Structure formats: structure tokens, C-alpha cells
């Protein structure tokens, strides 16, 4: 999860609307991961953010069920 936050922090520099990390972090729904919010330079980081979001879900479920 911490890696996901770091990627979102770095990704906030590429937002088209100029909103920073706080707006991205507080809006933790899937709308924050839309491709049209970010410039072309941030698309690689956006893919990493999607990847980390997808693998975090089974990890949270596993920890919740086993813990």
C-alpha cells in the first residue's frame, strides 16, 4: 500500500488540472486513475498505479481473512 501512495505522489505532478497529491489521495476512488487526468509523460506511472491497486485488493482480503 505504501508503494501505491508513493506512485500516486509522483503521479500527481503529471495531473492536467494542476491539483496536487492531496486531491488525488483524498479522492481514493477509481476516478483518480482515469487516463485523461494525466499528461502523456505520466501514463507509465498511471499503469503502475493501476497494477498496484489491483494487487492490493487480494492482499487486503488475504490479510483480513487470515488475520
Confidence (pLDDT) at 28: 62
Q: Residue 58, Cβ neighbours under 10 Å: how many?
A: 9
Model's pTM, two decimal places?
0.75
Q: Where are the domains of the chain?
A: 2-66
Q: At what angle do helices 43-66 and 2-11 cross, to 10 degrees?
A: 160
Mean pLDDT, contiguous 10-residue spans, the chain (67 residues): 85 85 71 87 93 87 83
pLDDT at 42: 92
Amino acid at each position: 500500500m505504501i508503494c501505491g501512495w508513493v506512485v500516486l505522489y509522483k503521479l500527481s505532478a503529471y495531473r492536467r488540472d494542476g491539483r496536487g497529491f492531496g486531491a488525488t489521495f483524498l479522492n481514493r476512488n477509481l476516478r483518480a486513475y482515469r487516463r485523461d487526468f494525466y499528461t502523456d509523460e505520466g501514463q507509465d506511472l498511471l499503469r503502475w498505479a493501476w497494477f498496484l491497486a489491483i494487487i492490493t485488493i487480494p492482499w487486503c482480503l488475504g490479510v483480513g481473512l487470515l488475520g
